[in-house]
């Protein structure tokens, strides 16, 4: 397995809309394994292929405390959503930034695992939020872009300042 490089906002590649996965092969399984390892090391609870500059519809999620409940979702699609909830979100592509975002409280997702087996997942709470966040990445969207223009500008200034300090 390998640790992959995570793109950081405002990298334009994060706005690339991911293409559906068509082949369920060894390459896909390896990519999912590498993404999971990258997510755990980062550390995070979700990672979309877009964030590692692979523009295919693949996400990995593990919201468990023990980090042993990995879910691999290929071509995930939200088929039902209802309710509203607000919670603080962070993102491996926007390090150090945490903001409150409104999302659906309950979702039903249709997807496939890395072998091509169809899955149907009903999610609420943190899992629902995480899956919506990662699917946004596949659609070329980053959570900070859901915020007001003022907040987004402040975040961009902070990210630029942090980048200058690490150089």
The answer to the question of residue 70 being in a domain is: yes
Mean pLDDT of 4-10: 96
Q: Is the pLDDT of residue 6 over 70?
A: yes
Mean pLDDT of 104-132: 98
- Which CATH number does the domain housing residue 72 bear? 3.90.45.10
Q: Which of 55, 58, 56 is nearest to 32 (CA)?
A: 58
User: Looking at per-residue confidence, does 96 or 117 come out higher?
Assistant: 117
Residues spanned by the domain of 160 = 12-166
Annotated catalytic residue within 77, 102, 134, 145: 134
Work out how many domains the chain is built from and give that number. Answer: 1
Q: Is the pLDDT of residue 165 over 80?
A: no
Question: What is the tens place of the pLDDT at every residue in 45-102?
Answer: 999 999 999 999 999 999 999 999 999 999 999 999 999 999 999 999 999 999 999 9
**Alpha-helix runs per DSSP H in the chain:** 26-41, 125-138, 149-166
Assess whether 134 carries a catalytic annotation: yes
Q: DSSP label at 43? A: T
């Amino acid at each position: 397995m390998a640790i992959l490089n995570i793109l950081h906002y405002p990298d334009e590649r994060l706005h690339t809309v991911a293409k559906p996965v068509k082949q369920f092969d060894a390459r896909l399984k390896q990519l999912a394994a590498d993404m999971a390892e990258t997510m755990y090391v980062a550390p995070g609870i979700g990672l979309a292929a877009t964030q590692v500059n692979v523009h295919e519809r693949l996400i990995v999620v593990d919201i468990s405390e023990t980090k042993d409940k990995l879910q691999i979702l290929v071509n995930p699609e939200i088929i039902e959503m209802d309710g509203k909830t607000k919670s603080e979100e962070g993102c491996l592509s926007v390090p150090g930034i945490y903001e409150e975002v409104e999302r659906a409280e309950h979702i039903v997702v249709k997807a496939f695992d890395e072998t091509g087996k169809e899955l149907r997942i009903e999610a609420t709470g943190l899992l629902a939020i995480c899956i919506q966040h990662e699917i946004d990445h596949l659609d070329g969207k980053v959570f900070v872009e859901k915020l007001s223009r003022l907040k987004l500008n402040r975040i961009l200034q902070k990210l630029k300042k942090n980048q200058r300090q690490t150089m």
